[in-house]
Amino acid sequence: AQTVTQSQPEMSVQEAETVTLSCTYDTSENNYYLFWYKQPPSRQMILVIRQEAYKQQNATENRFSVNFQKAAKSFSLKISDSQLGDTAMYFCAFMNYGQNFVFGPGTRLSVLP
């Protein structure tokens, strides 16, 4: 069975600084998707960024970028110029083609003024 691990239960970062959240996963498949979702205090789950495993280029969305290391099965999220509104739980998720999502346990990020 696929598993997703987020080894940092909690992190904090100063406003305007950069922070990296780690995620590792376990699979024997070659084709799959990886996602980062954000869950702010409102508890609405919001898609942050998405990566297809067959693409070597790391995905980027404004201040959010990933470091996808397929061989190492690692998918970290980098948040640049952190803002107070980035305070949230961040979930890494994995999905095989035709299968369902597997979510990690989450990392609670606090952006400090």
Partner 1 sequence: DGGITQSPKYLFRKEGQNVTLSCEQNLNHDAMYWYRQDPGQGLRLIYYSQIVNDFQKGDIAEGYSVSREKKESFPLTVTSAQKNPTAFYLCASSETTLSTSTDTQYFGPGTRLTVL
- Nearer of residues 35 and 75 to partner 1, judged by Cβ: 35
For the bound state, the minimum distance from the C-beta of residue 9 to partner 1, rounded and expressed in Å, comes to 8
Among 28, 41, 42, 57, binds partner 1 (CB under 8 A): 42
CA-CA-CA-CA torsion sign (76, 47, 58, 85): negative
Find the shortest distance in angstroms from Cβ 20 to partner 1.
Answer: 20
**CA neighbor of 107 nearest in space, from 21, 26, 20:** 21
Q: Is 33 near partner 1 (CB under 8 A)?
A: yes
Interaction of residue 3 with partner 1, rule CB under 8 A = no
Chain length of the chain: 113
Distance, CA of 10 to CA of 21 (rounded, Å): 10
Distance CA 106, CA 89 (A): 6
Q: Contact residues for partner 1 (CB under 8 A)?
A: 33, 35, 37, 42-47, 50, 91, 95-101, 103-106
